[in-house]
Amino acid sequence: MRVKTLVLLAVLLASAISFYTPFGGYFSIPSVYGWLSGWSYRKSHEIEGSTAGAGTDYQIRIKVHYGSGTDSGEDVYLNEKCRSDFGDVRFTSSDGETLLDYWIEEKVDSDYAIFWVEVDSIPASPDTKTIYIYYGKSDATTTSDGLATFIRWDDFDDGYSVGDAPKSERGWSTSGTTSSDTIEIDNNPDGEGKVVHIHETGDETGTVLYNNFGGVFSNIAIHFKIRISTFSFIVIEENDVQRITTRHLHPSDGDYSKYYDGSAYQDFSPSASITSNTWYSDEWRVYEAGGNWYFYLIRDGTSHEGGFRSTPSEGFDEIWFAIYRFYSGDMYIDQFFIRKYVDPEPSHGAWGSEETAGQESHREN
């Protein structure tokens, strides 16, 4: 009898159910296994694996909505049960307890927030990975952490003051700077927050900002927001060898970005326009698949296929941003991060229904 009682108690503790007692009323047992302590609600989410194979520490984008709606794809709705600033949103692995690193790219309080979540492991297709989103803890504050989430990250706000140099511990270095040709943290000329500002006076030495990835990576997506006013270059290297070379606002190109194929500059397909002193959101996908290398520029959501100056041997380890010598002007960069990328990417599967944490035991007369 004692063994049966212990087994029944264990089942009840794990399942958080209510049952009727002979003493009158219902008795509720809280879940004590597989639940993030202190949080009231959660939903499960399936990440469908890629045919490119299994992966670890892969960054997945999730758009969290404060209000109500139908969960689908990257969109999940929390029915006004989270904090209006999304500070209580957390993600866990399939055990329901192991926290996953995340970063909030943007948010509008009481409306939506865009999260990037570093998922610890994703199997190859057709298998799936279950993760959980938790919410409903009024005293929680955000643990958003770009440095922990990505290969490289910098928003140029966290830990900076105007006039600072970009942090070397985040991979940054510079060349060509003088008292008048500068690379430093500055206020966003068109909005709130801080950015990194490259200023060139037009002398004989170009002003260059480098980011070293801390290793060679064969399959990555490089994200950044950019605003330029004059002829500029963006280059991706492998062991000091230029693999991708692009130029922007060259006088003979008009308002376009072009890539170098080893012999001449070519238009992206379709052509990628760029206007002086206008912010753009760029994602540069560089990857190997089936023995071939690919480069796509995703600018404000539109995909443009490019090419290589020279064929990579293993991958890429550095990107640099430069204003060409003899040209005066400015380049601003914001929201820089590098994530893993495979083609096709792992995809969003089904969302589970909202689950509620077990209530405290009680008795009703």
DSSP 340-360: E--SSPPEEEEEPPPEEPPPP
360 occurs within a structural domain: no
208 domain-assigned: yes
| Residue 148: per-residue pLDDT | 98
Is there a domain that residue 363 lies in?
A: no
What is the span of the domain harbouring residue 263? 152-340
In this predicted structure, the answer to whether residue 103 has a pLDDT above a threshold of 90 is yes
Inside any domain, residue 349: no
Residues 334-355 have pLDDT tens digits of 999 999 999 999 999 999 999 9
* Residue 343 CB contacts under 8 Å (≥ 6 apart), including other chains: 52, 285, 287, 289, 294
pTM of full prediction above 0.85: yes
Claim to verify: residue 207 and residue 326 sit in the same structural domain: yes
User: Which of 99-108, 122-131, 353-362 has the least mean pLDDT?
Assistant: 353-362
Q: Tell whether 4 is covered by a domain.
A: yes
84/159 same-domain check: no
On whether both 213 and 64 belong to a single domain, the answer is: no
Interval 308-321: pLDDT, tens: 999 999 999 999 99
Same domain, 157 and 124: no
Task: Give the residue ranges of DSSP H helices in 179-333.
Answer: none
Q: For 28-61, what is each residue's pLDDT tens digit?
A: 343 444 999 999 999 999 999 999 999 999 999 9
**Is the domain of 227 the same as that of 144?**
no
Q: Do 233 and 260 meet the contact criterion of CB atoms below 8 Å apart?
A: no
Model confidence over 224-267: pLDDT tens digits?
999 999 999 999 999 999 999 999 999 999 999 999 999 999 99
Residues 333 and 227 in one domain: yes
Looking at the fold, whether 9 and 63 belong to one and the same domain comes out as no
Q: 144 and 156, same structural domain?
A: no
Residues 286 and 266: their CA atoms lie apart, in Å, by: 17
Same domain, 94 and 178: no
* Strand, coil or helix: 3: helix
Closest by CA to 245, choosing from 330, 318, 343, is 318
95 and 227 co-located in one domain: no
CA distance readout (Å), 50 to 327, 334, 345: 45, 30, 6
183 close to 177: Cβ distance less than 8 angstroms: yes
**Cα separation, 253 vs 136, whole angstroms:** 53
Does residue 350 lie in a domain region? Answer: no
CATH of the domain at 171: 2.60.120.560
207 lies in a domain?
yes
134, 149, 164: which is the final residue of a domain?
149
Is residue 235, in this structure, part of any structural domain at all? yes
Looking at residue 22, what is its pLDDT? 41
3-state secondary structure of 56: strand
Query: Given pLDDT bands bounded at 50, 70 and 90, which one contains residue 129?
Result: very high
The total number of structural domains that make up the chain: 3
Q: Are residues 70 and 200 in the same domain?
A: no
Check which CATH number belongs to the domain holding 82 and give it: 2.60.40
In a shared domain, residues 293 and 196: yes
